[in-house]
Amino acid sequence: MKLKIYLTLILSFAVMIFLGFKFNNDSNSSSGTFGDKHPDVDWTISCADCHKDITPDVFNAWSESRHGQVNFGCYICHGDGEEVFYAKGTDERCSGCHSGQEINFENTKLKSCFDCHNGHTLKFHN
């Protein structure tokens, strides 16, 4: 009888762990973001219009950078926000335009472009 109780408990525990991973992965993959999700916002307002009020320091850092000066859109690094959103830019997003500066990180102590560059000012030596 005790064996039956232990097996039931172990099986229940395994099912709970499986469902926890499944629902966590499903909720993250639905936005195509691997865990990042942009808050619900009024999508009729541009990223810049919202972020100059919500995160003025980040907006100012971006707008004073070379990317901001040529109006390089937020969506290029962060995705469209609705379907795909990356809270932080990814090296793959950088290399779309900067393939000439691409580094093989396997041969360095660095793991990402952002180990040296600030994500919004893009200044070297983060």
Place 31 in a pLDDT band, splitting at 50, 70 and 90.
very low
Residues counted in the chain: 126
- 32-74, pLDDT tens digit by residue? 444 567 878 888 888 888 899 988 998 998 888 888 888 888 8
CA-closest candidate to residue 51, choices 33, 78, 31, 89: 78
Rounded alpha-carbon distances, angstroms, from residue 69 to 32, 47, 53, 92, 98: 29, 15, 19, 22, 17
| Strand, helix or coil for residue 4 | helix
Inter-axis angle of helices 47-54 and 56-64, nearest 10: 120
Tokens representing residue 107 in the block: 């041969």
Tens digit of pLDDT for each residue in 77-87? 888 888 888 88
Tokens representing residue 93 in the block: 């997003």
Question: Model confidence at 124, in pLDDT bands (50, 70, 90)?
Answer: confident
Q: What is the pLDDT of residue 21?
A: 54
